[in-house]
Protein backbone atom coordinates (compact mmCIF):
# COMPACT_ATOMS: atom_id res chain seq x y z
CA UNK A 1 0.00 0.00 0.00
CA UNK A 2 1.30 3.46 -0.87
CA UNK A 3 2.05 6.01 1.85
CA UNK A 4 -1.01 8.06 0.93
CA UNK A 5 -0.63 10.50 3.81
CA UNK A 6 2.94 11.35 2.84
CA UNK A 7 1.98 11.78 -0.82
CA UNK A 8 -0.77 14.28 0.08
CA UNK A 9 1.54 16.31 2.34
CA UNK A 10 4.33 16.47 -0.26
CA UNK A 11 1.85 17.53 -2.93
CA UNK A 12 -0.21 20.11 -1.00
CA UNK A 13 2.40 21.44 1.45
CA UNK A 14 5.71 21.10 -0.42
CA UNK A 15 4.10 21.50 -3.88
CA UNK A 16 6.17 18.62 -5.29
CA UNK A 17 5.26 17.14 -8.66
CA UNK A 18 4.14 13.55 -9.09
CA UNK A 19 7.53 12.64 -10.52
CA UNK A 20 9.40 14.22 -7.59
CA UNK A 21 7.15 12.47 -5.07
CA UNK A 22 7.60 9.11 -6.82
CA UNK A 23 11.38 9.50 -6.82
CA UNK A 24 11.51 10.49 -3.16
CA UNK A 25 9.32 7.54 -2.09
CA UNK A 26 10.78 5.10 -4.64
CA UNK A 27 7.39 4.27 -6.10
CA UNK A 28 5.88 4.56 -9.57
CA UNK A 29 5.00 8.01 -10.90
CA UNK A 30 1.80 6.69 -12.48
CA UNK A 31 0.68 5.28 -9.10
CA UNK A 32 1.25 8.64 -7.37
CA UNK A 33 -0.49 10.65 -10.08
CA UNK A 34 -3.38 8.18 -10.18
CA UNK A 35 -3.93 8.49 -6.43
CA UNK A 36 -3.79 12.29 -6.52
CA UNK A 37 -6.41 12.37 -9.28
CA UNK A 38 -8.74 10.14 -7.25
CA UNK A 39 -8.09 12.20 -4.09
CA UNK A 40 -9.18 15.40 -5.89
CA UNK A 41 -12.36 13.66 -7.08
CA UNK A 42 -13.17 12.29 -3.63
CA UNK A 43 -16.07 14.14 -1.94
CA UNK A 44 -15.64 12.39 1.40
CA UNK A 45 -12.08 13.61 1.97
CA UNK A 46 -10.04 16.73 1.23
CA UNK A 47 -6.96 18.64 2.40
CA UNK A 48 -6.23 19.39 5.18
CA UNK A 49 -6.67 15.82 6.35
CA UNK A 50 -8.66 14.97 9.48
CA UNK A 51 -6.52 14.57 12.57
CA UNK A 52 -5.40 10.99 13.25
CA UNK A 53 -6.46 9.54 9.89
CA UNK A 54 -4.37 6.58 8.74
CA UNK A 55 -3.33 5.39 5.29
CA UNK A 56 -6.00 2.69 5.51
CA UNK A 57 -8.60 5.35 6.35
CA UNK A 58 -7.50 7.42 3.35
CA UNK A 59 -7.64 4.35 1.14
CA UNK A 60 -11.15 3.49 2.37
CA UNK A 61 -12.53 6.92 1.50
CA UNK A 62 -10.67 7.46 -1.79
CA UNK A 63 -11.37 3.94 -3.09
CA UNK A 64 -14.71 2.99 -1.50
CA UNK A 65 -15.42 0.13 -3.91
CA UNK A 66 -11.96 -1.40 -3.61
CA UNK A 67 -11.98 -0.98 0.14
CA UNK A 68 -14.89 -3.41 0.57
CA UNK A 69 -12.86 -6.17 -1.00
CA UNK A 70 -9.87 -5.26 1.17
CA UNK A 71 -11.92 -5.23 4.38
CA UNK A 72 -13.44 -8.63 3.61
CA UNK A 73 -10.13 -10.31 2.94
CA UNK A 74 -8.74 -12.89 5.37
CA UNK A 75 -6.50 -10.93 7.75
CA UNK A 76 -4.42 -14.02 8.41
CA UNK A 77 -2.83 -13.50 4.97
CA UNK A 78 -0.07 -10.93 4.64
CA UNK A 79 -1.03 -8.25 2.09
CA UNK A 80 1.89 -7.66 -0.33
CA UNK A 81 3.28 -4.15 -0.73
CA UNK A 82 2.18 -3.67 -4.31
CA UNK A 83 3.63 -0.15 -4.48
CA UNK A 84 7.11 -1.54 -3.93
CA UNK A 85 6.39 -4.50 -6.22
CA UNK A 86 5.31 -2.20 -9.03
CA UNK A 87 8.36 0.01 -8.55
CA UNK A 88 10.70 -2.97 -8.88
CA UNK A 89 8.81 -4.40 -11.85
CA UNK A 90 9.15 -1.15 -13.77
CA UNK A 91 12.72 -0.24 -12.86
CA UNK A 92 14.77 -3.43 -12.59
CA UNK A 93 15.93 -5.41 -15.61
CA UNK A 94 14.56 -8.95 -15.97
CA UNK A 95 12.43 -8.60 -12.84
CA UNK A 96 9.51 -11.05 -12.72
CA UNK A 97 6.45 -11.49 -10.52
CA UNK A 98 7.53 -15.07 -9.81
CA UNK A 99 10.76 -13.81 -8.21
CA UNK A 100 8.97 -11.14 -6.16
CA UNK A 101 6.36 -13.66 -5.05
CA UNK A 102 9.17 -15.89 -3.79
CA UNK A 103 10.62 -13.02 -1.75
CA UNK A 104 7.15 -12.27 -0.36
CA UNK A 105 6.56 -15.90 0.72
CA UNK A 106 9.94 -15.98 2.47
CA UNK A 107 9.06 -12.85 4.47
CA UNK A 108 5.71 -14.37 5.41
CA UNK A 109 7.36 -17.57 6.57
CA UNK A 110 9.82 -15.61 8.72
CA UNK A 111 6.99 -13.71 10.44
CA UNK A 112 4.63 -16.72 10.74
CA UNK A 113 2.09 -15.11 8.41
CA UNK A 114 0.13 -16.89 5.67
CA UNK A 115 1.12 -16.04 2.10
CA UNK A 116 -1.10 -15.88 -0.97
CA UNK A 117 -0.59 -18.46 -3.70
CA UNK A 118 1.13 -17.28 -6.85
CA UNK A 119 -2.07 -16.96 -8.89
CA UNK A 120 -3.81 -14.97 -6.13
CA UNK A 121 -0.69 -12.81 -5.79
CA UNK A 122 -0.80 -11.96 -9.51
CA UNK A 123 -4.54 -11.32 -9.48
CA UNK A 124 -4.27 -8.98 -6.50
CA UNK A 125 -1.42 -7.12 -8.19
CA UNK A 126 -3.50 -6.69 -11.36
CA UNK A 127 -6.44 -5.43 -9.31
CA UNK A 128 -4.18 -3.01 -7.45
CA UNK A 129 -2.98 -1.54 -10.75
CA UNK A 130 -6.56 -1.13 -11.93
CA UNK A 131 -7.61 0.54 -8.66
CA UNK A 132 -4.65 2.91 -8.84
CA UNK A 133 -5.06 3.71 -12.53
CA UNK A 134 -1.65 2.19 -13.18
CA UNK A 135 -0.74 0.79 -16.58
CA UNK A 136 2.03 -1.75 -16.79
CA UNK A 137 4.93 0.06 -18.40
CA UNK A 138 8.52 -1.01 -18.35
CA UNK A 139 11.30 1.19 -19.56
CA UNK A 140 13.08 -0.69 -22.33
CA UNK A 141 16.20 -2.27 -20.88
CA UNK A 142 19.20 -2.98 -23.04
CA UNK A 143 19.25 -6.56 -24.33
CA UNK A 144 16.18 -7.61 -22.34
CA UNK A 145 13.35 -8.16 -24.85
CA UNK A 146 12.66 -9.13 -28.43
CA UNK A 147 9.06 -8.57 -29.55
CA UNK A 148 7.70 -10.57 -32.51
CA UNK A 149 4.46 -10.49 -34.47
CA UNK A 150 2.90 -10.73 -37.94
CA UNK A 151 2.13 -7.60 -39.94
CA UNK A 152 -1.51 -7.02 -40.83
CA UNK A 153 -0.68 -6.16 -44.44
CA UNK A 154 -0.14 -9.15 -46.77
CA UNK A 155 1.43 -9.43 -50.22
CA UNK A 156 1.60 -12.06 -52.96
CA UNK A 157 3.84 -13.46 -55.66
CA UNK A 158 3.06 -15.28 -58.91
CA UNK A 159 4.70 -18.60 -59.73
CA UNK A 160 6.40 -18.01 -63.09
CA UNK A 161 5.88 -21.65 -64.16
CA UNK A 162 2.29 -22.34 -63.16
CA UNK A 163 0.85 -18.84 -62.85
CA UNK A 164 -0.50 -19.69 -59.40
CA UNK A 165 -0.70 -16.81 -56.90
CA UNK A 166 0.79 -17.41 -53.44
CA UNK A 167 0.20 -15.14 -50.41
CA UNK A 168 3.06 -13.57 -48.47
CA UNK A 169 2.75 -12.90 -44.73
CA UNK A 170 5.36 -10.59 -43.17
CA UNK A 171 7.00 -11.60 -39.89
CA UNK A 172 8.57 -8.78 -37.88
CA UNK A 173 10.80 -8.58 -34.80
CA UNK A 174 12.21 -5.63 -32.85
CA UNK A 175 14.56 -4.95 -29.95
CA UNK A 176 12.65 -2.34 -27.86
CA UNK A 177 15.73 -0.58 -26.44
CA UNK A 178 17.31 0.28 -29.80
CA UNK A 179 14.12 -0.20 -31.89
CA UNK A 180 16.36 -2.20 -34.28
CA UNK A 181 13.90 -3.96 -36.61
CA UNK A 182 13.86 -7.14 -38.68
CA UNK A 183 11.23 -8.37 -41.16
CA UNK A 184 10.87 -11.34 -43.51
CA UNK A 185 8.18 -12.55 -45.90
CA UNK A 186 6.74 -16.05 -45.44
CA UNK A 187 4.79 -18.12 -47.97
CA UNK A 188 3.70 -20.43 -45.15
CA UNK A 189 3.11 -19.71 -41.46
CA UNK A 190 3.38 -23.31 -40.36
CA UNK A 191 5.62 -24.17 -37.42
CA UNK A 192 8.78 -25.03 -39.45
CA UNK A 193 8.72 -21.64 -41.16
CA UNK A 194 7.88 -19.92 -37.85
CA UNK A 195 10.96 -21.44 -36.23
CA UNK A 196 13.07 -20.48 -39.27
CA UNK A 197 12.13 -16.78 -39.22
CA UNK A 198 12.73 -16.60 -35.46
CA UNK A 199 16.18 -18.09 -36.06
CA UNK A 200 16.80 -15.52 -38.80
CA UNK A 201 15.76 -12.68 -36.49
CA UNK A 202 18.28 -13.75 -33.82
CA UNK A 203 20.94 -14.04 -36.50
CA UNK A 204 20.13 -10.54 -37.79
CA UNK A 205 20.30 -9.12 -34.24
CA UNK A 206 23.56 -11.05 -33.67
CA UNK A 207 22.50 -12.22 -30.24
CA UNK A 208 19.76 -13.58 -28.01
CA UNK A 209 17.64 -11.43 -25.66
CA UNK A 210 16.55 -12.60 -22.21
CA UNK A 211 12.84 -12.61 -23.11
CA UNK A 212 10.83 -13.06 -26.31
CA UNK A 213 7.45 -11.32 -26.20
CA UNK A 214 5.09 -12.82 -28.78
CA UNK A 215 1.48 -12.48 -29.81
CA UNK A 216 -0.94 -15.32 -29.09
CA UNK A 217 -0.58 -16.96 -32.50
CA UNK A 218 -1.01 -20.74 -32.64
CA UNK A 219 2.64 -21.22 -33.66
CA UNK A 220 3.70 -19.86 -30.27
CA UNK A 221 0.83 -20.26 -27.79
CA UNK A 222 -1.72 -23.04 -27.43
CA UNK A 223 -3.86 -21.19 -24.90
CA UNK A 224 -3.47 -18.03 -22.86
CA UNK A 225 -6.52 -17.68 -20.63
CA UNK A 226 -4.47 -15.41 -18.42
CA UNK A 227 -0.93 -14.10 -18.69
CA UNK A 228 0.19 -15.87 -15.52
CA UNK A 229 0.44 -19.49 -16.72
CA UNK A 230 0.07 -19.62 -20.53
CA UNK A 231 0.21 -22.96 -22.33
CA UNK A 232 3.05 -22.59 -24.85
CA UNK A 233 3.68 -24.46 -28.08
CA UNK A 234 6.00 -27.38 -27.37
CA UNK A 235 8.33 -26.74 -30.32
CA UNK A 236 8.57 -23.00 -29.66
CA UNK A 237 9.39 -23.77 -26.03
CA UNK A 238 12.13 -26.14 -27.21
CA UNK A 239 13.43 -23.38 -29.50
CA UNK A 240 13.58 -20.99 -26.54
CA UNK A 241 15.41 -23.52 -24.36
CA UNK A 242 17.90 -24.19 -27.17
CA UNK A 243 18.68 -20.47 -27.38
CA UNK A 244 18.64 -19.84 -23.63
CA UNK A 245 15.74 -17.38 -23.67
CA UNK A 246 12.19 -17.36 -22.25
CA UNK A 247 8.81 -16.94 -23.97
CA UNK A 248 6.47 -14.37 -22.47
CA UNK A 249 3.28 -14.03 -24.57
CA UNK A 250 1.36 -10.79 -24.41
CA UNK A 251 -2.00 -10.74 -22.74
CA UNK A 252 -4.92 -11.31 -25.08
CA UNK A 253 -6.08 -8.06 -26.70
CA UNK A 254 -3.43 -6.07 -24.83
CA UNK A 255 -1.30 -4.40 -27.54
CA UNK A 256 0.55 -2.33 -24.91
CA UNK A 257 2.34 -5.50 -23.83
CA UNK A 258 4.16 -5.44 -27.18
CA UNK A 259 4.01 -1.76 -28.04
CA UNK A 260 7.42 -1.68 -29.74
CA UNK A 261 6.54 -4.27 -32.39
CA UNK A 262 3.14 -2.63 -32.92
CA UNK A 263 4.95 0.66 -33.54
CA UNK A 264 7.52 -0.93 -35.86
CA UNK A 265 4.83 -2.62 -37.95
CA UNK A 266 2.92 0.66 -38.10
CA UNK A 267 6.00 2.44 -39.45
CA UNK A 268 6.43 -0.21 -42.14
CA UNK A 269 2.76 -0.27 -43.13
CA UNK A 270 2.56 3.52 -43.34
CA UNK A 271 5.88 3.73 -45.17
CA UNK A 272 7.62 1.46 -47.65
CA UNK A 273 4.87 -1.22 -47.63
CA UNK A 274 3.00 1.04 -50.07
CA UNK A 275 5.90 0.82 -52.54
CA UNK A 276 6.18 -2.96 -52.19
CA UNK A 277 2.44 -3.33 -52.84
CA UNK A 278 2.85 -1.61 -56.24
CA UNK A 279 5.38 -4.18 -57.51
CA UNK A 280 4.81 -7.58 -59.09
CA UNK A 281 6.84 -10.44 -57.63
CA UNK A 282 7.49 -13.85 -59.14
CA UNK A 283 9.30 -15.40 -56.20
CA UNK A 284 9.45 -15.08 -52.43
CA UNK A 285 13.20 -14.48 -52.66
CA UNK A 286 12.68 -11.38 -54.81
CA UNK A 287 10.18 -9.95 -52.34
CA UNK A 288 12.52 -10.55 -49.39
CA UNK A 289 15.41 -8.85 -51.19
CA UNK A 290 13.37 -5.66 -51.56
CA UNK A 291 12.03 -5.98 -48.01
CA UNK A 292 15.55 -6.38 -46.60
CA UNK A 293 16.78 -3.29 -48.46
CA UNK A 294 13.98 -1.21 -46.96
CA UNK A 295 14.54 -2.63 -43.46
CA UNK A 296 18.26 -1.81 -43.64
CA UNK A 297 17.40 1.71 -44.80
CA UNK A 298 14.94 2.10 -41.89
CA UNK A 299 17.56 0.97 -39.37
CA UNK A 300 20.12 3.41 -40.80
CA UNK A 301 17.77 6.43 -40.80
CA UNK A 302 18.24 8.76 -37.77
CA UNK A 303 15.36 9.12 -35.32
CA UNK A 304 13.40 12.37 -35.47
CA UNK A 305 13.66 12.91 -31.68
CA UNK A 306 17.02 11.24 -31.08
CA UNK A 307 20.45 12.13 -32.42
CA UNK A 308 21.24 8.71 -33.88
CA UNK A 309 19.75 5.79 -35.83
CA UNK A 310 18.44 2.39 -34.73
CA UNK A 311 21.65 0.77 -35.90
CA UNK A 312 23.73 3.10 -33.71
CA UNK A 313 21.85 2.08 -30.57
CA UNK A 314 21.87 -1.57 -31.67
CA UNK A 315 25.68 -1.51 -31.85
CA UNK A 316 25.55 -0.62 -28.17
CA UNK A 317 22.81 -3.12 -27.32
CA UNK A 318 24.36 -6.11 -29.11
CA UNK A 319 27.20 -6.10 -26.57
CA UNK A 320 24.82 -7.20 -23.80
CA UNK A 321 22.83 -9.73 -25.85
CA UNK A 322 23.50 -13.38 -25.07
CA UNK A 323 25.69 -15.23 -27.53
CA UNK A 324 24.01 -17.22 -30.31
CA UNK A 325 24.27 -21.03 -29.91
CA UNK A 326 26.76 -22.80 -32.16
CA UNK A 327 23.93 -24.45 -34.14
CA UNK A 328 20.46 -23.21 -34.97
CA UNK A 329 17.44 -25.02 -33.62
CA UNK A 330 15.82 -27.10 -36.34
CA UNK A 331 12.14 -27.99 -36.25
CA UNK A 332 11.60 -31.52 -37.57
CA UNK A 333 8.34 -32.77 -39.11
CA UNK A 334 7.83 -36.53 -39.23
CA UNK A 335 5.51 -38.34 -41.59
CA UNK A 336 5.10 -41.86 -42.98
CA UNK A 337 5.23 -42.15 -46.78
CA UNK A 338 5.48 -44.66 -49.60
CA UNK A 339 6.89 -44.35 -53.12
CA UNK A 340 4.25 -44.75 -55.82
CA UNK A 341 4.54 -46.02 -59.36
CA UNK A 342 6.21 -42.75 -60.41
CA UNK A 343 9.08 -43.31 -57.91
CA UNK A 344 8.13 -40.20 -55.88
CA UNK A 345 6.76 -39.63 -52.39
CA UNK A 346 4.39 -36.76 -51.65
CA UNK A 347 5.09 -34.46 -48.73
CA UNK A 348 3.60 -31.03 -47.94
CA UNK A 349 2.02 -30.81 -51.42
CA UNK A 350 5.37 -31.37 -53.17
CA UNK A 351 7.02 -34.46 -54.67
CA UNK A 352 10.44 -35.98 -54.01
CA UNK A 353 11.96 -38.89 -55.94
CA UNK A 354 13.52 -41.94 -54.27
CA UNK A 355 15.64 -44.65 -55.80
CA UNK A 356 13.86 -47.32 -57.84
CA UNK A 357 14.92 -50.00 -55.35
CA UNK A 358 12.67 -48.45 -52.68
CA UNK A 359 9.46 -48.37 -54.69
CA UNK A 360 6.41 -49.36 -52.59
CA UNK A 361 8.55 -49.74 -49.43
CA UNK A 362 7.40 -48.01 -46.22
CA UNK A 363 9.41 -44.81 -45.72
CA UNK A 364 9.65 -42.00 -43.15
CA UNK A 365 10.07 -38.32 -43.93
CA UNK A 366 12.05 -36.06 -41.56
CA UNK A 367 11.69 -32.47 -42.72
CA UNK A 368 13.18 -29.23 -41.46
CA UNK A 369 12.59 -25.79 -42.95
CA UNK A 370 15.57 -26.37 -45.27
CA UNK A 371 15.84 -30.09 -45.97
CA UNK A 372 13.72 -33.21 -46.48
CA UNK A 373 15.40 -36.44 -45.38
CA UNK A 374 13.80 -39.73 -46.47
CA UNK A 375 14.61 -42.89 -44.50
CA UNK A 376 13.57 -46.52 -44.56
CA UNK A 377 10.89 -47.04 -41.92
CA UNK A 378 12.24 -50.41 -40.75
CA UNK A 379 15.99 -49.69 -40.50
CA UNK A 380 16.04 -45.86 -40.34
CA UNK A 381 18.63 -45.94 -43.13
CA UNK A 382 18.88 -42.66 -45.06
CA UNK A 383 17.53 -43.11 -48.58
CA UNK A 384 18.11 -39.55 -49.84
CA UNK A 385 18.22 -35.93 -48.74
CA UNK A 386 16.50 -33.13 -50.68
CA UNK A 387 16.37 -29.36 -50.24
CA UNK A 388 12.83 -28.52 -49.18
CA UNK A 389 10.58 -27.40 -52.02
CA UNK A 390 9.87 -23.67 -52.07
CA UNK A 391 6.55 -23.80 -53.93
CA UNK A 392 3.44 -25.92 -53.71
CA UNK A 393 3.30 -28.71 -56.31
CA UNK A 394 7.04 -28.55 -56.99
CA UNK A 395 8.73 -31.73 -58.25
CA UNK A 396 12.20 -32.69 -57.00
CA UNK A 397 13.43 -35.47 -59.27
CA UNK A 398 16.84 -37.09 -59.60
CA UNK A 399 17.03 -38.88 -63.01
CA UNK A 400 19.37 -41.45 -61.46
CA UNK A 401 16.54 -42.58 -59.21
CA UNK A 402 14.53 -43.71 -62.25
CA UNK A 403 15.25 -47.02 -64.02
CA UNK A 404 16.39 -46.75 -67.64
CA UNK A 405 13.29 -48.62 -68.78
CA UNK A 406 10.95 -47.09 -66.20
CA UNK A 407 8.22 -46.82 -68.86
CA UNK A 408 8.14 -50.63 -68.96
CA UNK A 409 8.85 -51.36 -65.30
CA UNK A 410 5.98 -49.28 -63.98
CA UNK A 411 2.32 -49.87 -64.61
CA UNK A 412 2.15 -46.06 -64.81
CA UNK A 413 3.53 -45.10 -68.21
CA UNK A 414 2.60 -43.10 -71.30
CA UNK A 415 1.25 -46.15 -73.16
CA UNK A 416 -0.99 -47.05 -70.21
CA UNK A 417 -2.49 -43.58 -69.91
CA UNK A 418 -2.93 -43.04 -73.65
CA UNK A 419 -4.60 -46.44 -74.05
CA UNK A 420 -6.97 -45.56 -71.23
CA UNK A 421 -7.70 -42.14 -72.74
CA UNK A 422 -8.52 -43.67 -76.14
CA UNK A 423 -11.39 -45.62 -74.54
CA UNK A 424 -12.91 -42.29 -73.47
CA UNK A 425 -12.51 -40.10 -76.56
CA UNK A 426 -10.18 -38.08 -78.80
CA UNK A 427 -10.35 -34.94 -76.66
CA UNK A 428 -9.32 -36.83 -73.56
CA UNK A 429 -6.46 -38.43 -75.49
CA UNK A 430 -5.27 -35.00 -76.65
CA UNK A 431 -5.37 -33.67 -73.09
CA UNK A 432 -3.31 -36.60 -71.80
CA UNK A 433 -0.77 -36.16 -74.63
CA UNK A 434 -0.28 -32.52 -73.68
CA UNK A 435 0.02 -33.27 -69.97
CA UNK A 436 2.65 -35.95 -70.67
CA UNK A 437 4.96 -33.36 -72.28
CA UNK A 438 4.18 -30.51 -69.86
CA UNK A 439 7.12 -31.21 -67.53
CA UNK A 440 10.83 -31.79 -67.95
CA UNK A 441 10.50 -35.45 -67.03
CA UNK A 442 7.53 -37.47 -68.23
CA UNK A 443 7.32 -39.37 -64.96
CA UNK A 444 6.42 -36.11 -63.18
CA UNK A 445 3.14 -35.97 -65.10
CA UNK A 446 1.84 -39.44 -64.26
CA UNK A 447 -0.09 -38.38 -61.16
CA UNK A 448 -1.89 -35.68 -63.14
CA UNK A 449 -2.76 -38.19 -65.87
CA UNK A 450 -4.05 -40.65 -63.32
CA UNK A 451 -6.11 -37.93 -61.67
CA UNK A 452 -7.71 -36.74 -64.93
CA UNK A 453 -8.60 -40.21 -66.17
CA UNK A 454 -10.00 -41.23 -62.78
CA UNK A 455 -12.76 -38.66 -63.27
CA UNK A 456 -14.29 -40.96 -65.90
CA UNK A 457 -15.10 -43.47 -63.15
CA UNK A 458 -16.67 -40.88 -60.88
CA UNK A 459 -18.48 -38.65 -63.39
CA UNK A 460 -18.72 -40.73 -66.55
CA UNK A 461 -16.84 -40.83 -69.85
CA UNK A 462 -19.15 -38.40 -71.67
CA UNK A 463 -18.72 -35.71 -68.99
CA UNK A 464 -14.93 -36.08 -69.03
CA UNK A 465 -14.74 -35.97 -72.83
CA UNK A 466 -16.78 -32.75 -73.00
CA UNK A 467 -14.76 -31.21 -70.18
CA UNK A 468 -11.51 -32.00 -72.02
CA UNK A 469 -12.91 -30.47 -75.21
CA UNK A 470 -13.59 -27.20 -73.36
CA UNK A 471 -10.10 -27.23 -71.81
CA UNK A 472 -8.54 -27.65 -75.27
CA UNK A 473 -10.71 -24.90 -76.69
CA UNK A 474 -9.64 -22.48 -73.93
CA UNK A 475 -6.00 -23.53 -74.12
CA UNK A 476 -5.90 -24.39 -70.40
CA UNK A 477 -4.94 -28.02 -70.22
CA UNK A 478 -4.10 -29.18 -66.70
CA UNK A 479 -5.38 -31.44 -63.95
CA UNK A 480 -6.53 -28.42 -61.93
CA UNK A 481 -8.60 -27.06 -64.84
CA UNK A 482 -10.34 -30.42 -65.36
CA UNK A 483 -10.92 -30.84 -61.62
CA UNK A 484 -12.54 -27.42 -61.27
CA UNK A 485 -14.92 -27.80 -64.24
CA UNK A 486 -15.82 -31.51 -64.45
CA UNK A 487 -18.74 -31.26 -62.01
CA UNK A 488 -20.60 -28.86 -64.31
CA UNK A 489 -20.51 -31.42 -67.13
CA UNK A 490 -21.38 -34.23 -64.73
CA UNK A 491 -24.66 -32.46 -63.89
CA UNK A 492 -25.63 -32.66 -67.57
CA UNK A 493 -24.92 -36.39 -67.53
CA UNK A 494 -26.41 -37.19 -64.15
CA UNK A 495 -27.58 -40.55 -65.41
CA UNK A 496 -23.96 -41.52 -66.00
CA UNK A 497 -22.86 -40.29 -62.60
CA UNK A 498 -25.84 -41.75 -60.72
CA UNK A 499 -25.23 -43.66 -57.56
CA UNK A 500 -25.56 -47.47 -57.57
CA UNK A 501 -29.13 -48.72 -57.36
CA UNK A 502 -30.55 -49.58 -53.99
CA UNK A 503 -30.94 -53.18 -52.87
CA UNK A 504 -34.72 -52.93 -53.39
CA UNK A 505 -34.26 -51.72 -57.01
CA UNK A 506 -31.82 -54.54 -57.74
CA UNK A 507 -34.19 -57.14 -56.28
CA UNK A 508 -37.12 -55.81 -58.34
CA UNK A 509 -34.98 -55.88 -61.48
CA UNK A 510 -33.97 -59.49 -60.88
CA UNK A 511 -37.47 -60.85 -60.18
CA UNK A 512 -38.13 -63.95 -62.29
CA UNK A 513 -34.44 -64.66 -62.68
CA UNK A 514 -32.65 -67.73 -61.42
CA UNK A 515 -29.15 -68.44 -60.18
CA UNK A 516 -26.69 -70.24 -62.48
CA UNK A 517 -23.67 -72.22 -61.44
CA UNK A 518 -20.48 -70.40 -62.48
CA UNK A 519 -19.16 -73.70 -63.93
CA UNK A 520 -21.72 -73.33 -66.71
CA UNK A 521 -19.61 -70.48 -68.13
CA UNK A 522 -16.23 -72.21 -68.04
CA UNK A 523 -14.32 -72.44 -71.32
CA UNK A 524 -14.55 -76.27 -71.55
CA UNK A 525 -18.33 -76.27 -71.05
CA UNK A 526 -18.86 -73.55 -73.66
CA UNK A 527 -16.66 -75.38 -76.24
CA UNK A 528 -18.51 -78.62 -75.64
CA UNK A 529 -21.85 -76.86 -76.16
CA UNK A 530 -20.52 -75.31 -79.36
CA UNK A 531 -19.39 -78.71 -80.73
CA UNK A 532 -22.74 -80.32 -79.82
CA UNK A 533 -24.67 -77.52 -81.55
CA UNK A 534 -22.51 -77.74 -84.68
CA UNK A 535 -22.95 -81.53 -84.86
CA UNK A 536 -26.73 -81.23 -84.52
CA UNK A 537 -26.88 -78.65 -87.34
CA UNK A 538 -24.81 -80.91 -89.62
CA UNK A 539 -27.10 -83.84 -88.87
CA UNK A 540 -30.24 -81.79 -89.68
CA UNK A 541 -28.70 -80.62 -92.93
CA UNK A 542 -27.88 -84.18 -93.92
CA UNK A 543 -31.46 -85.29 -93.30
CA UNK A 544 -32.81 -82.39 -95.33
CA UNK A 545 -30.66 -83.34 -98.37
CA UNK A 546 -31.90 -86.92 -98.16
Domain-located, residue 498: no
Pick the last residue of a domain from 317, 350, 382: 317
pLDDT at 458 over 80: yes
Pick the last residue of a domain from 406, 438, 460: 406
Indicate the range of 114-118, 143-147, 290-294, 492-496 predicted with least confidence.
Answer: 492-496
Query: At residue 476, what are phi and psi to the nearest 5 degrees?
Result: -120, 85
Domain-located, residue 416: yes
Domain co-membership, 306 together with 158: yes
Domain co-membership, 162 together with 224: yes
Domain co-membership, 418 together with 401: no
Alpha helices in 14-63 (DSSP H): 18-25, 29-41, 55-62
Distance CA 301, CA 274 (A): 18
The mean pLDDT of the chain is 81
Edge-to-edge order in the sheet of strand 333-338: 333-338, 362-367, 371-376, 382-387
Q: Would you call 463 helix, strand, or coil by DSSP?
A: helix
Q: Are 146 and 212 in contact (CB under 8 A)?
A: yes
Give 66's pLDDT tier (boundaries 50, 70, 90).
low
Domain co-membership, 8 together with 103: yes
Give 504's pLDDT tier (boundaries 50, 70, 90).
low
pLDDT at 464 over 70: yes
Which pLDDT score is estimated for 71? 47
Section 435-464 average pLDDT: 87
Domain co-membership, 342 together with 311: no
Which pLDDT score is estimated for 75? 66
Domain-located, residue 139: no
More confident position, 332 or 200:
200
Domain co-membership, 308 together with 432: no
Indicate the range of 68-72, 169-173, 181-185, 314-318 predicted with least confidence.
Answer: 68-72
Domain co-membership, 310 together with 181: yes
Pick the last residue of a domain from 353, 382, 406: 406
Which pLDDT score is estimated for 508? 59
Indicate the range of 33-42, 47-56, 452-461, 511-520 predicted with least confidence.
Answer: 511-520
Q: Would you call 172 helix, strand, or coil by DSSP?
A: strand
Give 332's pLDDT tier (boundaries 50, 70, 90).
confident
Does this model's pTM top 0.85? My answer is no
Domain co-membership, 362 together with 345: yes
Distance CA 416, CA 450 (A): 10
Pairing, β 221-223 against β 333-338:
unpaired
Domain co-membership, 178 together with 149: yes
Domain-located, residue 505: no
Domain-located, residue 32: yes
Domain co-membership, 95 together with 152: no
Q: Would you call 260 helix, strand, or coil by DSSP?
A: helix
Domain-located, residue 468: yes
146-150, 256-260, 303-307, 542-546, range with greatest mean pLDDT: 146-150
Query: At residue 214, what are phi and psi to the nearest 5 degrees?
Result: -120, 165
pLDDT at 158 over 50: yes
Q: Are 392 and 164 in contact (CB under 8 A)?
A: yes
Question: Can you give the residue range of the structural domain that contains 125?
Answer: 4-131
Domain co-membership, 65 together with 31: yes
Q: What is the largest CA-CA distance in the chain?
A: 152
Other Cβ atoms less than 10 A from the Cβ of 151: the count is 19
Give 505's pLDDT tier (boundaries 50, 70, 90).
low
Domain-located, residue 327: no
Q: Could you tell me which residues come within 8 angstroms of residue 356 by beta carbon, excluding any fewer than 6 positions away?
A: 343, 401, 402, 403, 406, 409
pLDDT at 307 over 50: yes
Domain co-membership, 41 together with 97: yes
Domain-located, residue 324: no
Distance CA 212, CA 146 (A): 5
Which pLDDT score is estimated for 323? 93
Strand partners, 180: 175
In the chain, the number of structural domains is: 5
Distance CA 408, CA 256 (A): 66
Amino acid sequence: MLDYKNIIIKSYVLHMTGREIAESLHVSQSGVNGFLREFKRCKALSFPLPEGITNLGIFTKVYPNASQAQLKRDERYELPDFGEIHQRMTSEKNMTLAYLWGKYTNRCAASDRKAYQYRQFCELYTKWKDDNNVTYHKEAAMGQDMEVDFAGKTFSFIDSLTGEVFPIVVFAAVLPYSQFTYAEGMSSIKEPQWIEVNNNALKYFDGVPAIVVCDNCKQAVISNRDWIEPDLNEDYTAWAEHNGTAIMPARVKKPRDKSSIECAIGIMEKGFFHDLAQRDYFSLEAFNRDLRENIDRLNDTPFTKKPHSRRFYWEEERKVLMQLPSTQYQYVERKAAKSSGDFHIRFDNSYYSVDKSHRHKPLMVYATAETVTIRLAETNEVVCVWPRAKARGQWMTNPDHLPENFRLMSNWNAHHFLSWAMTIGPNTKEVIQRILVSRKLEVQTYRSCQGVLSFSRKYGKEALEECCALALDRGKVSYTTIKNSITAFADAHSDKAAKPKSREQIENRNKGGYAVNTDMFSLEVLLEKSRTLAASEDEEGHHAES
